[in-house]
Amino acid sequence: MSAIADGDPLEPVNRVVYGFNEAADILVLRPAAEVYRGTVPTPVRMAVRNFLLNLTSPLLVANELLQGDFEGAQVAFSRFLVNTTIGLGGAFDIAGRYRDLHYEYEDFGQTLAVWGVPDGPYLVLPLLGPSNLRDATGLVADTAADPVNIWANNADRSGAMAVRAGVTGVDTRTELIEAVDDLRRNSLDPYASARSLYRQRRATEINDGSGGSIEFPDYEDIDEPAVENGAGSSNSN
Amino acid sequence: MITRRIFIAAAALLAFAGWATAPVPASADPRSESAARFVQDLGARAVDILITPDLQRQEVENRFRTLLNEGFDVPYIGRFVLGRNWNTATPEQRQEYLELFERLIVKVYADRFSEYSGQSLDSGETLKILGHRPEGERDAIVQSQIVRPDGPPVTVEWRVRQRDGQNKIIDVAVEGVSMSVTQRNEFASVIQRGGGSIDALLNALRQRTAAR
């Protein structure tokens, strides 16, 4: 299991950035998330999250279309219509109450994956965390193509962009307080665990919810060499 | 399908009050059906431990260890998690590893259990079996949802293997993330950073599982 076989040739640099992110998280981001959760009532936080998600609808529709998933685009568009009107500008996820109109996360990194672009080396981005070359490229494209961002740029409202980014960051971090605490407490190598989690999670997102096929071999005879070469690498694509 | 979605969106626009959705039809496979009952029963027993008030820490560990070994094929999972490093380990290392691995799981989950203990939970509400399907020659995947008091429900898939007519869980996937694969990657990294030696992992496990 060399670094390159794991698709992490930049591991030494990544670990440095990871250490920086951990420090920034423990000092700033996690406390901010705790304050946010402790002071803002749950319904308000839900409304904020729904509103932020609704703002990403144009990107969802675009990425579904680029992936050739017309049903997915239809769902994302219907969600946008329903939630923007009845859902009062996106504050309420009315569409999510219907089985066929559930939210599905899409981004340009996933679109590139559907087009056959390999994930490239694993990257830990400053403040943003786990990624890879493909997904980081996708992130840049999504940010540049986002209609709300384009509007904010043209209207000289860079403050609005910063607020959106900040609130999105704190909201996302709030969702992960327990999970990250658990990882820090229980993993023997949180960096490696986070890398594994990111890769598996992305593989699931790219396949729209269906997990990868891991091989669970038979270990009937304990003395026989195990046939398991595919299991470790099959999830790391 | 697309027209159906438009219809649903229109219906939602007109009347957005609760609209009961039909339950997922369960497949009629006897193997995966028995696996689903097995997981359901195990979940109910886990909730029992959680809702028992004022349990001593040692008692939580004991009860969890029993539940773990009845529900999960721990030696199998341990071996899977060690990956190819199992093949180079000596019999003594393998034995110590499997003991430490079990102790680690018990410790980690007893921690998590004590964190949530004393909550008022209803087992039928907490773990919802959504469906099940046979997988491969002898496995079954049981799909479930864990409903949390605060936050959206979590999708959990249990991989149950039948051996000699007995059900045992060999993997748990949370939102598409396999616990066994994650731990395998974690352990592989510890070994790699320790110069490729299994002793590095055994050391880390000894430290982590030592009473503190």
- Mean pLDDT on A214-237: 55
* Residue A100 at interface with chain B, using a CB cutoff of 8 Å: yes
Q: Find the residue in A nearest to B159 (Cα).
A: A216
Q: Find the residue in B nearest to A229 (Cα).
A: B84
Of A71, A86, A232, the CB nearest to B1: A71
Q: What is the structure's pLDDT at A227?
A: 46
Q: What is the nearest CA distance from A30 to chain B, expressed in angstroms?
A: 18
Q: Of all helices (H) and strands (E), which one includes residue A46?
A: helix A42-55
Residues of A in contact with B205 (CB under 8 A): 188
Q: What is the structure's pLDDT at B125?
A: 67
| Amino acid occupying residue B167 | N
Segment B44-99, tens digit of pLDDT: 888 888 888 777 888 889 999 999 999 999 999 999 999 999 999 999 999 999 99
For residue B68, give both structure tokens.
């773990």
* Model confidence band, residue B22 (pLDDT cutoffs 50, 70, 90): very low
CA A99 to chain centre: 22
* Residue A115 at interface with chain B, using a CB cutoff of 8 Å: no
Q: What is the nearest CA distance from A211 to chain B, expressed in angstroms?
A: 5
Q: Of all helices (H) and strands (E), which one includes residue B111?
A: helix B91-116
Between B12 and A42, the higher pLDDT residue: A42
Q: What is the nearest CA distance from B184 to chain A, expressed in angstroms?
A: 8
To test the contact with chain B by mutation, choose from A189, A202, A220 the residue with the greatest count of B C-beta atoms within 10 A, namely: A189
Between A70 and B119, the higher pLDDT residue: A70
Q: What is the nearest CA distance from B199 to chain A, expressed in angstroms?
A: 14
Please check whether residue A225 is in contact with residue A231, taking contact to mean a CB–CB distance below 8 angstroms.
Answer: no
Residues of A in contact with B191 (CB under 8 A): 1
To test the contact with chain A by mutation, choose from B163, B172, B186 the residue with the greatest count of A C-beta atoms within 10 A, namely: B186
- Mean pLDDT on B128-147: 91
Q: Find the residue in A nearest to B109 (Cα).
A: A186
| Segment of A8-22, A173-187, B154-168 carrying the highest mean pLDDT | A8-22
What is the greatest pairwise CA distance in chain B? 68
Q: What is the nearest CA distance from A156 to chain B, expressed in angstroms?
A: 35
Whether residue B17 is predicted with pLDDT greater than 50 in this model: the reply is no
Q: What is the dihedral sign for C-alpha A62, A64, A67, A69?
A: negative
**Long-range contacts from A44-50, C-beta under 8 angstroms, 24+ separation:** A45/A171, A45/A174, A47/A91, A47/A92, A48/A167, A48/A171, A49/A171, A50/A83, A50/A87, A50/A90, A50/A91, A50/A92, A50/A93
* Model confidence band, residue B31 (pLDDT cutoffs 50, 70, 90): confident
The whole-model pTM stands at 0.86
Please check whether residue B150 is in contact with residue A42, taking contact to mean a CB–CB distance below 8 angstroms.
Answer: yes
Residues of B in contact with A9 (CB under 8 A): none
Partner-chain contact A196 B84, CB within 8 Å:
no
Least confident of B34-48, B148-162, B174-188: B148-162
Partner-chain contact B186 A196, CB within 8 Å:
yes
Q: What value does the mean pLDDT of chain B take?
A: 85
Between B100 and B154, the higher pLDDT residue: B100
Q: Across the A/B interface, how many CB contacts are shorter than 8 Å?
A: 143
- Mean pLDDT on B96-120: 86
CA B2 to chain centre: 36
Partner-chain contact A97 B12, CB within 8 Å:
yes
* Model confidence band, residue A225 (pLDDT cutoffs 50, 70, 90): very low
Q: What is the structure's pLDDT at B152?
A: 76
Q: What is the structure's pLDDT at B123?
A: 60
Cα(A113)–Cα(A201) distance, integer angstroms: 14
Whether residue A232 is predicted with pLDDT greater than 60 in this model: the reply is no
Partner-chain contact B5 A75, CB within 8 Å:
yes
Partner-chain contact A216 B80, CB within 8 Å:
yes
Q: What is the structure's pLDDT at B23?
A: 45
Predicted complex ipTM: 0.85
Segment A95-150, tens digit of pLDDT: 999 888 989 999 999 999 999 999 999 999 999 999 999 999 999 999 999 999 99
- Mean pLDDT on A77-91: 96
Partner-chain contact B21 A98, CB within 8 Å:
yes
* Residue A214 at interface with chain B, using a CB cutoff of 8 Å: yes
Partner-chain contact A101 B9, CB within 8 Å:
yes
* Residue A155 at interface with chain B, using a CB cutoff of 8 Å: no
Q: What is the structure's pLDDT at B212?
A: 55
Q: What is the structure's pLDDT at B2?
A: 56
Between B43 and A4, the higher pLDDT residue: B43
Q: What is the nearest CA distance from A82 to chain B, expressed in angstroms?
A: 6
* Model confidence band, residue B12 (pLDDT cutoffs 50, 70, 90): low
